[in-house]
Chains A and B, each alone.
Chain A
Amino acid sequence: MIMNRQSPGDTQSSPPVLELDQVSFRRRGETSIHMDRFSASVRAGQLIKLGLMRRHDPRDLVSLLIGLHHPHAGTIRYRGRDWLGLNYSRHFRMRSRIGRVFAGSAWVQSLTVRDNIRLAMSHHGVDKTQIKAQLNEWVERLSGSRVPEVRHALRNRPSFVEPSVLQICQFIRAFIHQPKLLIFERPLRYLVDEAQSNLVAAIEDLRSGGTSVLWFTGDGADPEVSFQGAVSHWTLTNDTLCGDDHFREGDSHNQHGGTIA
């Protein structure tokens, strides 16, 4: 893999989309990723990679970042607002602009793939014709030569769709609502090589429009892709994302605690 390792200076001045301040978080599962007084910020247009071991499941960590779990200590802010308080409507509105690609269970099994993709937009009041137009656009853009397969898959329930096609549909669902933050959990697991270039191009486009990207990838077992824009890194130590205290020995880490490659 050839990765552009330039410093992400072009995003340093942009506003933070996601901010973590001294966050500590621990789950009991052996596959979970923990946080120990971790501070970092994800700025508009920034792409941050977190390399995972094969045993890691990033689901809990991602759920923490989007306010579905609460940290034991510290604060997480998305676009300047935290996930605390009882104003759940605000939390749901905030989450509506986050695109998430799941590593595990990702679909409502009782709905067709098309209904799954349309569900959030329709629920958040987007017009039917606009949803249809967006869906067609993203199907064309991300499917490459597999457009007929993806169109066919839209009519079926998720359990009847081949995983590589279903993964493309996950990307469509994540991108369709013009997200401010995109979170990918092992996104390349089922993706065929041909679709990767479309995915990268789409991500680069969204980044140039100010979308931040968190990319949770594998330890070599998963394929890698290269991005044109700058890429920052968070590093795990003993299954934990640690704060500044734990990185004194590290060779390069940013002012918020996460390392930059």
Chain B
Amino acid sequence: MHDLFWRMAEALGEVCVEQFNRITSSMAALCATIVLAIRPRSWTPPVRQVFARQVLFSAVDAIPAALRFAAAVGILLIVQATMWVDMVGVASEVIAPMLWRLIVREIAPLLACLVVIGRSGIAISTELGAMRAGGEVEVLDSQGIDPMTYLVMPRVLAVMLSVFCLAVVIAVTMTVTGYVVGSLMDAIRTSWSGFFLEISHNFDIEDLVFFASKTLIAGGFAGVICCLEGIGVKGAMTDVPRATSRAGIRALTAVFAVSATLSILFYDRFLIFKFG
């Protein structure tokens, strides 16, 4: 019994150490990416090309998907909001600020991360995994090209930028969809300008800071995890699918964890309890 306890403790300890190592290596890679990005000499023409292509793929090409998801979630939100307004008995003017805060603070950044991870994060880890297994990373290294500068840094930055831009697109789409559906359902009885004015009154600088930091940090973690999982593939091409699925799950976990942590840190609240 005593022996079993220590074996369980050892296994638990190993899991904890492994998780800690994974988190610290992701944070280290994110810091290295930022350090590389602020050095002008890192931005050679090939690196700029990789960055531009990744932004095109992760942000521009993802706009139609982001619009579809945002419209659908916007409708879901307004339906739920109307139900709760009727049930609780508050005025419909409460909907606009409530919707806006919910969208800007939580839903738009999360949805943007999901779109980018599902569309680009998995593709990045597949591409880098195939490059590593096929010896292409060694080819780059042999020519004096730093894989961190050429492969990882532009992709992570592109993912961060894409999450931020798509979150803006998603927030605007959800708000517009919410207004249109809400008006049709007679849940919102103000004009568009009134609705917009209501939103702008409820928009403070704190929300902007929170929105930017949440999208950039969560996007950064998602990008780094997908890149590291891909480039960490050892052995044959058959290891790539496993690494890819692992990358997706770990990136999603990181995004939710970062979102929750930032929400607690920024708004000093956890559910209905206030700290301090």
A interface residues with partner B (beta carbon < 8 Å): 59, 63, 66, 68, 88-89, 91-98, 100, 102, 104-110, 119-120, 122-125, 128
Contacts and interface: CB of A to CB of B under 8 A. Distances in A.
Contact of B44 (A93, A107, A125): A125
B116 to A, nearest CB: 20
Contacts of B143: 95-96, 100, 119-120, 123
B83 interface: no
- Interface of B (DSSP majority class): helix
A96 B144 CA distance: 5
A124 B150 CA distance: 12
Nearest to B130: A109
B47 A123 contact: yes
A109 B142 contact: no
B134 A109 contact: yes
A94 B143 CA distance: 9
B146 A122 contact: no
Contacts of A92: 144-146
A19 B131 CA distance: 31
Interface string B118-141: 000000000100010011101111
Nearest to B145: A123
B64 interface: no
19 contacts: A59-B135, A59-B138, A63-B138, A68-B142, A89-B146, A91-B144, A95-B142, A95-B143, A98-B144, A100-B143, A102-B135, A105-B135, A119-B46, A120-B143, A120-B145, A123-B44, A123-B47, A123-B144, A124-B144
B45 interface: yes
Interface string B93-137: 000000000000000000000000000000000010001001110
B44 to A, nearest CB: 5
B155 to A, nearest CB: 13
Given A92-B144, A93-B144, A124-B144, A105 B139 contact: yes
Size bin of chain B's contact surface = 10 to 19
Given A119-B46, A125-B44, A98 B135 contact: no
B47 A104 contact: no
Contacts of B134: 105, 109
A59 B135 CA distance: 10
Given A92-B146, A104-B135, A123-B144, 19 more contacts: A59-B138, A66-B142, A68-B141, A94-B144, A96-B143, A102-B142, A105-B136, A105-B138, A107-B139, A108-B131, A108-B139, A109-B131, A109-B134, A119-B46, A119-B140, A122-B44, A123-B44, A123-B145, A125-B44
Nearest to B135: A105
A88 B150 CA distance: 14
A95 B131 contact: no
Q: Sorted from nearest, which 7 A-B pairs have the closest CB atoms?
A: A96-B144, A105-B135, A95-B144, A120-B143, A92-B144, A123-B44, A100-B142
Nearest to B142: A100
Nearest to B141: A68
A128 B134 CA distance: 29
Contacts of B144: 91-98, 120, 123-124
B219 to A, nearest CB: 23
A94 B145 CA distance: 11
Contacts of A107: 136, 139
Given A122-B44, A123-B46, A102 B139 contact: yes
Contacts of B46: 119, 122-123
A63 B142 contact: yes
Given A110-B127, A123-B150, A95 B141 contact: yes
A104 B135 CA distance: 8
Contacts of B145: 92, 119-120, 123
Most chain A Cβ neighbours within 10 Å, of B47, B136, B144, B145? B144
Interface string B51-92: 000000000000000000000000000000000000000000
A178 to B, nearest CB: 13
Nearest to A116: B139
A108 B137 CA distance: 8
A119 B45 CA distance: 9
A124 B255 CA distance: 36
A108 B136 contact: yes
B45 A122 contact: yes
Contacts of B140: 108, 119
A100 B47 CA distance: 22
A95 B146 CA distance: 10
A105 B131 CA distance: 10
Contacts of A124: 44, 144
A88 B146 CA distance: 8
A245 B82 CA distance: 87
A207 to B, nearest CB: 21
Interface in B144-158: 144-146, 150
Nearest to A174: B143
A88 B42 CA distance: 13
